[in-house]
């Protein structure tokens, strides 16, 4: 392929970039650090290390929230910095690339246009800017042949959203973007520590608790965390219980199950038959929550299929589309 093509997955928590002929070339936290509201001092993983630790004159933020670009200016600056890094490492010029952008299905036209605006600048001088629906990229990234008539149900558990989609013949039959993901489970754990123990922990600590002892099905265990005693105001430690963590996150997990059931109820019967035979496919970084497949299987009675690298299915699928002209029909203009 003579064209220069870059594929981008704008995750709420992590941004991933692929390039034709090179595969995935960058995986970084989707975070930017700005000094005195004007000077970009760090992006990606370096900025994430500053999160929740900065003085008042440094702002550290996620430009993508609830699955869409919430801060266009910061997202543009972050993207330029990351693309400059890729260009430097690959010794390619920054200008003239075509861009394939993975975008949620269930968002407005204005929200879709913001993705195009991120890479539309004189500094990049992009060629074509194309859109790939995230559920389509997910399916390809999981190795599914979505161009045939078999119906597929994919649930992508992200950091701030869960996208539930039914696909067939390379298109979306239904898609629902639920504003609930792994970060909401982290907030549940923060509230648990504060409400029950008067103990204050940060988002990074809560995420660590979720990853180590969090589970969709109640299990015994515990973990020592460090933070601040809200009564004394002093640094301290707390032993947090796995069963309590499960109880804290259960309400949000049940909301996701309810949305899955609503989509299943609206699915045409012939597609429902395919889903019954093949099961539900779950992916996304937050799908790594322990016992989540079993929890969904118990709630729906359906087989649950997982991915070996759930955090990479979107960018892997984008790479398949970039490299294989067979999938050109899955790409559309981003307007």
Q: Crossing angle of helices 182-197/242-266, nearest 10°? A: 140
Instruction: Please tell me if the domain spanning 5-134 has the same topology as the one spanning 143-306.
Output: yes
The residue extents of the domains of the chain are: 5-134, 143-306
Locus of tokens 């609206």: 266
Give the fold, CATH level 3, of 5-134.
Nucleotidyltransferase; domain 5 (3.30.420)
Residue 231 C-alpha from the chain's centroid: 36
Supply the pLDDT for residue 274: 96
What is the Cα–Cα distance from 301 to 294, expressed in whole angstroms?
A: 10
What is the Cα–Cα distance from 285 to 93, expressed in whole angstroms?
A: 32
Q: Crossing angle of helices 203-213/182-197, nearest 10°? A: 100
Local confidence pLDDT in tens for the 335 residues of the chain: 467 899 999 999 999 999 999 999 999 999 999 999 899 999 999 999 999 999 999 999 999 998 899 999 999 999 999 999 998 887 778 888 999 999 999 899 999 999 999 999 888 899 999 999 999 999 999 999 889 889 999 999 999 999 999 999 989 999 999 999 999 999 999 999 999 999 999 999 999 999 999 999 999 999 999 999 999 999 999 999 999 999 999 999 999 999 999 999 999 999 999 999 999 999 999 999 999 999 999 999 999 999 999 999 999 999 999 999 889 899 998 75
Supply the pLDDT for residue 2: 62
Q: Which residues contact 276 (CB under 8 A, 6 or more apart)?
A: 302
For residue 287 the two structure tokens come to: 């799908």
Q: Which CATH number fits domain 143-306: 3.30.420.40, 1.50.10.20, 3.40.640.10, 3.90.1150.10?
A: 3.30.420.40
For residue 185 the two structure tokens come to: 């489970």
- Provide the terminal-to-terminal Cα distance of the chain, rounded to the nearest Å: 25
Contact at 8 Å (CB) between 200 and 304? Answer: no
**DSSP secondary structure letters along 259-310:** HHHHHHHHS-HHHHHHHHHH-EEEESGGGGSBTHHHHHHHHH-S-EE--SSG
Contact at 8 Å (CB) between 302 and 275? Answer: yes
């Amino acid at each position: 392929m003579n064209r220069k093509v870059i594929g981008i997955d704008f995750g709420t928590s992590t941004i991933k970039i692929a390039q034709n002929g090179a595969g995935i070339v960058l995986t970084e936290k989707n975070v930017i650090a700005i000094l005195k509201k004007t000077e970009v001092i760090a992006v990606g993983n370096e900025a994430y290390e500053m999160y929740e630790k900065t003085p008042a004159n440094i702002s550290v933020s996620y430009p993508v929230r609830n699955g869409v670009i919430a801060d266009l200016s910061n997202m543009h600056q972050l993207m330029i910095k990351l693309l400059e890094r890729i260009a430097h490492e690959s010794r390619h010029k920054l200008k003239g690339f075509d861009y394939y952008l993975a975008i949620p299905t269930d968002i407005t036209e204005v929200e879709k246009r913001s993705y195009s605006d991120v890479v539309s600048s004189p500094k990049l001088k992009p060629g074509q800017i194309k859109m790939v629906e995230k559920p389509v990229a997910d399916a390809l990234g999981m190795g599914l042949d979505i161009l045939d008539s078999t119906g597929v149900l994919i649930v992508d558990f992200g950091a701030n959203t869960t996208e539930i989609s039914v696909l067939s013949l390379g298109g979306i039959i239904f898609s629902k973007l639920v504003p609930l993901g792994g970060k909401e489970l982290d907030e549940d754990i923060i509230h648990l520590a504060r409400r029950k123990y008067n103990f204050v922990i940060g988002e990074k600590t809560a995420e660590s608790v979720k990853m180590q002892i969090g589970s969709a099905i109640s299990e015994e265990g515990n973990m020592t965390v460090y933070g601040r005693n809200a009564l004394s105001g002093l640094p301290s430690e707390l032993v947090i219980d796995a069963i309590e963590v499960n109880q804290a996150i259960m309400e949000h997990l049940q909301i996701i199950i309810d949305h899955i059931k609503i989509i299943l109820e609206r699915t045409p019967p012939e597609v429902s038959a395919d889903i019954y035979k093949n099961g539900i496919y779950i992916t996304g970084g937050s799908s790594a929550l322990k016992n989540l497949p079993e929890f969904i299987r118990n709630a729906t009675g359906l087989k649950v299929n997982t991915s070996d690298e759930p955090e990479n299915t979107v960018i892997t699928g984008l790479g398949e589309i970039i490299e294989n002209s067979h999938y050109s029909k899955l790409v559309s203009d981003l307007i």
